[in-house]
Amino acid sequence: MLYMPELSISRSLSAIAVLTSGGDSPGMNPAIRAVTRAALNQGIRVYGVNKGYSGLIIGDLHEMSSASVTNIIQRGGTVLKSDRCEAFKDPSIRRQAAEILKSHGIEGLVVIGGDGSLTGAQLLAEESSIAVVGLPGTIDNDIFGSDDTIGFDTAVNTALDAIDKIRDTALSHERLFLVEVMGRNSGFIATQVGIACGAEMIVVPEYPVNINQASIELADSHSSGCGASGIIVVAEGPVPGLTYRLAQELGQHGPEPRVCILGHIQRGGQPSGHDRVLASCLGTAAVDHLRAGISNVMLGIRENQVCEVPLRDVVERTKKLDRRLFDTATLLHK
């Protein structure tokens, strides 16, 4: 259960806007729905911005109704579409965006996205009179200040479903499979997936692996029949091709492993019940915070309670993967 903070309403809003930006994540639609209906039911008009900041800077927005968000809570992706907008790094473009919002009578903006999107939210909040609240919408779960992010749970479950199928072939042929999951700079997905599927090894950017030593250990496990699940989970890492390079190196100590790249399958699909509830609570809380006169914050989850995190902290600080969680996988695979 998530606990919502009680806030004193100090501001009367006539209209707010909501946008999704960056990589899509399952649960963005429930968040859009929550923002829209929470605002409308309190007498606030809502505008949806199409294609994130790219749509905002050209004025591509439309007024939302309750019917606009009917039957989207179960849908993956984002009905508002999304984009990555390099132009928004230009201060003059951000001023243009703020003027577009003001021209529609919009006083507050809810931004749903990852670290790049929240960077744009922070700059807009600091440089204009628009009140901005961010929500962590990313499958990577790498946003500072929040224990969880919208889409992470679904992505983990999607990867697990795929690995459970791959394992059937791995065991039938007594082969190793390297399964690559998303995570260029963070190993949160890989670590949780690895623990949940009983992987023999997890490779993440945060903690380098001695491939030679790991290869010998894997060979010993397979020869003894102990702990041989046949699955190695690899975070994609910052340099493309890591998983294939690992497969070649492991192949020097035994049969070359098969490689499965899960890729964008992890972004799609119906959001889990967990992500729907998380997104709904955060979306509702975003409207409450705007009505309370609070801006330049991201709303996250800490110890099952909605919390405020200054956007500057989100942008400037890094969420670290817990070494103890990573070590748990190593402890349990044998």
Question: What's the rounded Cα separation, in Å, for the pair 275 and 152?
Answer: 8
Q: How far is the CA of 13 from the CAs of 43, 44, 291, 313, in angstroms?
A: 8, 6, 7, 27
Catalytic residues: 140
Cα angle at 17 between 16 and 22, to 5 degrees? 150
- Nearest by Cα to 137 from 35, 248, 21, 45: 21
DSSP string for residues in 32-79: HHHHHHHHHTTT-EEEEETTHHHHHTTT-EEEE-GGGGTT-TT--S-T
- Nearest by Cα to 249 from 292, 202, 286, 213: 213
